[in-house]
Structure 1
Amino acid sequence: MGFTFYDNFWQDENVESPLPLYQWTHMVMLPRDMLKFGILYKDKGMFSGKRVLSEEWVRKATRKEVTDFKYNYYWWRFNLKIEGQNIYSYRASGFVGQNIVIVPKLDLVVVTINSPSGGGILPNTIIEKFITPAFLN
């Protein structure tokens, strides 16, 4: 898929970290690579006409039937409330506003990045109030 990873890190008990030990990962990706990853999931595991992930894996990771926690396979699942409608979407959410949001009904992938300080309008607000409604009509 041509990703450029600048840093990858999987926390384990042998790595010193200021955070408590949880299984988390750290990837530094360019927005264009985040978009490719979103397209891969939007297209049910296909990218540029080639099968990269099984359709079953993508279905399990992104299905609407969510637990109370609404998180599975590194994806958050939720409804966007747009113009009085609940529109299903799922999101890979990163540090201070880095997001890959897929809205299947609209065939839409949105990538957001934010400053390390997290300043400005929250990406979730931009997606729900401005971007997604533009594709609904």
Structure 2
Amino acid sequence: MAVVVFIFCANTKLEHREDCKNMLDEAHNALVIIHEYVARLEADMKVRAGELQAVKNSNKRIVHERGDSEVDERDELMNEVRRHLQFQKEMDYQAAQLEAENKLCTSLLERMNQLIKNLEEDVKNAAQEDTMISEFSKLIDTETSS
């Protein structure tokens, strides 16, 4: 009966060790992919930040802007001001959308970086566990062969 238990334990340890190695390989592969994805996301965020700054720079107010929305064909200057005011509202909306998108991307990037740190820690722990399992298996082999 002790031999059956030992064989079961040895098989279980081998299966666990294989599972650990497979998970470790998957974690290494995931880390490579994640770093590439984060680099692309950071590059995209730089582009978005440039777009946001361009919108903010082009969204300068002029002195004549007021709330009068009626079109008067006799006053071309005020008609131009009204058109500019509508354009400013659209630019404000676009700037708000870009700002919200930038905050979302920044939050996502921070969360991804934290997940990467956690994954790297898990990979390190799994590698240590694999080493400990190997040492334990050697110890068991030494004890059983004596």
TM-score, length basis structure 1: 0.20
Higher normalized helix content (fraction of residues) = 2
Higher normalized strand content (fraction of residues) = 1
Instruction: Name which structure has the greater RCO, CA cutoff 8 Å, separation 6+.
Output: 2
Q: Which has the larger radius of gyration?
A: 2
